[in-house]
Amino acid sequence: MPVQYADYTLWQREVLGSETDPESPISRQLTYWRETLKGIPEQLDLPADRPRPAVASNRGATTAFEIDAPTHAALEQLGRARGASLFMVVHGALAALLARLSGTGDIVVGSPIAGRGEQLLDDMIGMFVNTLVLRTQVNPSDTFGDVLARVRETDLGAFGHADLPFERLVEALDPERSQARTRCSRSL
């Protein structure tokens, strides 16, 4: 293989530069995330059928569902008409749903990304996944088109600053932790 995982880590450090250099990509990305995540809500309060435990059990569940072909095509067509990807359309729908259920308009979700921005990495074995924090404002008077436009802007900004490892972001922002929720659901 032309590159190994160790080459990737060295390349990443070289490309991102030093946090002490304010002009380095890592420094600029840290600044972006600090500004973007300033004042995020401590948690998203959703309706629940039981109180939150003092310590999270980490038990979860999945719900499988299918989106039929006509609905999928309509979602893609909506995205194309608004200059948005299918991911953005689904993110917009999730943000609108969470805003309605929680009664708040400051919606923050985490999304995994592949982290394989270079073609040389396509065939390489290794863990490149990173987490992006997607923060969207949803106002009750917004149309879905308004929400989608805001989501598009949010997602493009986040993907444009996706090189900063999530662990480094959490370390830099040092949010308060709680055993009652996942560690990234607290205010960053």
- Domain assignment present for residue 163? The answer is yes
- Domain assignment present for residue 153? The answer is yes
Distance CA 188, CA 177 (A): 10
- Domain assignment present for residue 55? The answer is no
CATH code, domain carrying 105: 3.30.559.30
What digits encode the pLDDT tens for the residues 124-179? 766 778 899 999 999 999 999 999 999 999 999 999 999 888 999 999 888 877 77
Closest Cα to residue 26, out of 38, 37, 9, 14?
A: 14
Contacts for 109 with CB less than 8 Å, ≥ 6 apart: 91, 94, 95, 98, 133, 134
125, 55 contact by CB (below 8 A): no
Beta-strand pair 130-137/106-113: antiparallel
Q: How confident is the model at residue 14 (pLDDT cuts 50, 70, 90)?
A: confident
Check whether 183 has a pLDDT greater than 60.
no
Other residues' Cβ atoms within 10 Å of the Cβ of residue 112: 10
- Domain assignment present for residue 148? The answer is yes
What digits encode the pLDDT tens for the residues 91-119? 999 999 999 999 999 999 999 998 766 66
Sign of dihedral through CA atoms 120, 125, 126, 131?
A: positive
Beta strands in 80-162 (DSSP E): 106-113, 130-137
pLDDT of 42: 83
Question: What is the tally of structural domains in the chain?
Answer: 1
pLDDT of 108: 95
Residue written as token pair 């038990």 = 59
Contacts for 169 with CB less than 8 Å, ≥ 6 apart: 30, 33, 133, 188
Other residues' Cβ atoms within 10 Å of the Cβ of residue 134: 21
- In 3-state terms the chain splits into helix, strand, coil percentages (rounded to 5) of 45, 10, 45
- Domain assignment present for residue 50? The answer is no
- Domain assignment present for residue 62? The answer is no
Long-range contacts of 21-28 (CB under 8 A, 24+ apart): 25/163, 26/163, 26/164, 26/168, 28/161
What digits encode the pLDDT tens for the residues 48-58? 888 888 888 87
Average model confidence (pLDDT) across the chain: 87
pLDDT of 12: 73
pTM for the predicted model, two decimal places: 0.84
Question: The domain containing residue 144 runs over which residues?
Answer: 5-42+68-185
- Domain assignment present for residue 20? The answer is yes
- Domain assignment present for residue 139? The answer is yes
